[in-house]
Structure 1
Amino acid sequence: MAEAHPDTNFPYPIPARYQCVKLLGHGGSGLVYKAYDQRLRRHVAIKFARSPSIVSRHRLVNEARLLSAVDHPALCRVFDIGEPETPSSSLFMVLEYIDGKPLNKVRSAISVYETVAMVKSLVDGVCRMHEAGYAHSDITPQNIMVRSLGTSKKEQSKRAVLVDLSISAPSSPASIQRDIYQLSALLLSLLTDMKPEQFYHHPIISRPGLPIELSRIIKRALSLDPNSRFHECQEFQKELEHWLNRYRLKKRLFWFTAANAAVLVVPFILFLTLHDTAPRHFLEDYSSKQDQYAHAVVFAHYSQYLANQGDRQRATEQAELSLDHFDHAIANNPDALRYHEERTRFILTSGQIFSHTQITTMLLNAINELGDPAQFEEKPAAHYLLAKMYLALAKLNNEHPHLVERWKDSALRSVKAAIQNKPNADRYQKLQNEISQYQSSAGTD
């Protein structure tokens, strides 16, 4: 049972069955207290209209009617609404008490999958609101609580709850678009810490934690073009559901492939033996679910095996899965140069699988995620890797002389930095000669 406190701790008189515990928060629309309902023996949240004005009362009644009409785990439940006991008192609403923290306080502890599942649950709740004829219009991390109870995977996707629906109003095409925009901006922020305007300026740059397919979904949801964006919340809902289903399928496919691909073990071991930058304890690492890098290498080899067999569709699926694992591995270990090297090696040898445009985008992403070579312990190797990527970009776009020259210059600067740090490395000198002699198809020097 909760610790008893005098009723005078509430800002206005209410029935004695509710014992005040503490103030939870306040905003423009009201004050929210944690309380104990002695009759039903449970904690509740009690929200008071901030003032007894007609506008404040209308907002509280509107919120209570909406919550009672729409039942979804992502929306806070309403238990009761009370009239003031005295003329000077305030209307109050008794709500479900959410034992947890605001989303902006726990975001760093949430994985990519959990984040998408959580936002998908919020999208489900908002879709239910739209079906009932309402729109939320104020979806922010501050208005979302994450339950601390329930840690099973089934419960995790239903942990996020919208707790303030005070400014919700009858829906319109504009308010529905606003909700979709705010939900997609929330997903973008949780995954990358980027704001929509930053995302607009760098649409092809994939950030750590933002897989390519999710980037496409968010870009569409944030689109300012009426013909490109989602027109209904259900469209956004279906795209996220598709991504989650595909993610789960990939995980199952990985373990199925691992269990049934014994014929591939020997080629993998040979590859590891012949490539000195590959992990030395690959099979041990492969058995660990936590080693995203080992998984990425497995899928990379398997995709190239499928491509050599002529199975382009399955090769593409496995290659995309490999890149997803590389992205996660690098996001968790950005200073591990071998992760960057192996991903680049895979990208540069995936011409049978991806188009030149796709590989160009992947290389630009890889350059962005590599960052400043000076941050790595092996600075010459990092400069060398950067030079290789810039030269590859020049070759892929050799019909565009201005791009060739720009990327050749970047490649030369990088390889010269590598030589300066390690002048006796033959491969650095060889790469410098290759870059200097390369010409575009238009005949530029």
Structure 2
Amino acid sequence: MRQVGRYRMRRVLGSGAFATVWLGEDPALEVHVAIKVLAENWANNADVRERFLAEARLLRRVDDPRLVRVFDVGESEDDEARPYFVMEYIPGGTLTERIGSLSTREALAYGVAAGEAVQVLHDAGIVHRDVKPSNLLIDDRSTPPRLVVSDLGSAKVLAEASGFTVTTGTPSYMAPEQIHQTDGFDGRADVYAVAAVTYHLLTGQPAFSDHSPAAVLDRRADTKPPPVAARLGRPAELDRLLARSLSWDPGKRPGTAAEFARELGRFLADDPHLHRPGREVPTVPVLVFCVVLAAALFAVTYQLLAR
């Protein structure tokens, strides 16, 4: 398949269990686009087709620059008639490629942006259910770079029954309630995921070594992530916020993604050079005193040597 509708398909950007995303070209408008095509093995499954198209409808309904935009939908012209939808192409890649290379301030800023973007979904009654670095795109064309949430294939519209009862999510970022509940959880599961992403961005390591859903359940409920604030030159309140947001109990987390973003945003104002332990920056009066003292010592020394 090298073309769907009027769109030319250039190369694969990514693939998953249900679909493949291609870099495409719209020859009519002469722009690059991203094209998501349902996987061949699901083409004849009516439920999966509906779930696939539901993602396009969700993205189109919640029109916000913090969510990837959908421009068109259609079906391939071969015998399989696979559904596809066309989205804006975000050229900056994902947060996955930036883990380990971000400054503390950049990591915090992306955590704030992720919380604010997820809140847009929650305001529309949608729980994403799979927030992770590879689903957070970065648009380098704007200043500062724009964070864009993608891949609502696991999203849940609270007011509608999806008919799917499988566990969705990625263990390193998955809230515990997503594992033992296939339904009935709320946006606080996404708050957990955004906090887990933020921790990973800040440290280069996941908060917990959960490589499978079973590992999440095996972890003690009172386990806290290793503290990071001191080595990042931030107040201890940052550790407390991350620990609370990654709590096993949803009731102990910030109530909304917007609340998490607001609390995290307070640490953006903290210059790490000013708060690094054992490294206090002298104030202006102290500096003036030091200069005057040095001048006085020089004058006394000069007079003694001149005698």
TM-score (norm 2): 0.71
Deviations 1:292-314 (A, max 9, x none): xxxxxxxxxxxxxxxxxxxxxxx
Larger radius of gyration: 1
Q: 2:2 aligns with which of 9, 13, 26?
A: 9
- 1:266 aligned residue: 288
Q: 2:151 aligns with which of 164, 177, 181?
A: 164
- 1:59 aligned residue: 51
- 1:232 aligned residue: 256
Q: Is the 8 A contact 2:12 2:22 kept in 1?
A: yes
Greater per-residue strand proportion: 2
Letter in 2 for 1:230: P
- 2:196 aligned residue: 185
1:34 aligns with 2:23: yes
- 2:35 aligned residue: 46
Deviations 1:337-368 (A, max 9, x none): xxxxxxxxxxxxxxxxxxxxxxxxxxxxxxxx
Give, in whole Å, the separation in 2 of the partners of 1:112 and 1:271. Answer: 38
Mark the CA change 1:83 to 1:113 in structure 2 (over 3 Å): closer, same or farther.
same
Percentage of pairs with the same residue: 30
Q: Is the 8 A contact 1:48 1:93 kept in 2?
A: yes
Give, in whole Å, the separation in 1 of the partners of 2:127 and 2:86. Answer: 22
Letter in 1 for 2:25: Y
Within 5 Å, give how 1:46-125 maps onto structure 2: 46-50=35-39, 51-52=42-43, 53-125=45-117
Letter in 1 for 2:195: S
- 2:135 aligned residue: 143
Q: Is the 8 A contact 1:137 1:175 kept in 2?
A: no
Mark the CA change 1:202 to 1:98 in structure 2 (over 3 Å): closer, same or farther.
closer
1:149 aligned counterpart, secondary structure:
coil
Greater per-residue helix proportion: 1
1:101 aligned counterpart, secondary structure:
coil
Letter in 2 for 1:47: K
- 1:213 aligned residue: 237
Mark the CA change 1:113 to 1:18 in structure 2 (over 3 Å): closer, same or farther.
same
- 1:341 aligned residue: none
Letter in 2 for 1:162: V
Q: CA deviation at 1:143?
A: 1.9
Give, in whole Å, the separation in 1 of the partners of 2:225 and 2:294. Answer: 36
Greater length-normalized contact order (CA 8 Å, ≥ 6 residues apart): 2
The number of residues matched between the two structures is 247
Give, in whole Å, the separation in 1 of the partners of 2:52 and 2:29. Answer: 23
Gaps of 5+ in 2: 159-182, 210-221, 275-280, 296-307
Give, in whole Å, the separation in 1 of the partners of 2:294 and 2:100. Answer: 35
1:79 aligned counterpart, secondary structure:
strand
1:175 aligned counterpart, secondary structure:
coil
Q: Is the 8 A contact 2:224 2:247 kept in 1?
A: no
Gaps of 5+ in 1: 1-7, 252-257, 274-445
Give, in whole Å, the separation in 2 of the partners of 1:135 and 1:116. Answer: 22
TM-score (norm 1): 0.50
Deviations 1:27-49 (A, max 9, x none): 01201111110112210011111
Letter in 2 for 1:41: E
Q: CA deviation at 1:189?
A: 1.0
Letter in 2 for 1:9: R
2:55 aligned counterpart, secondary structure:
helix
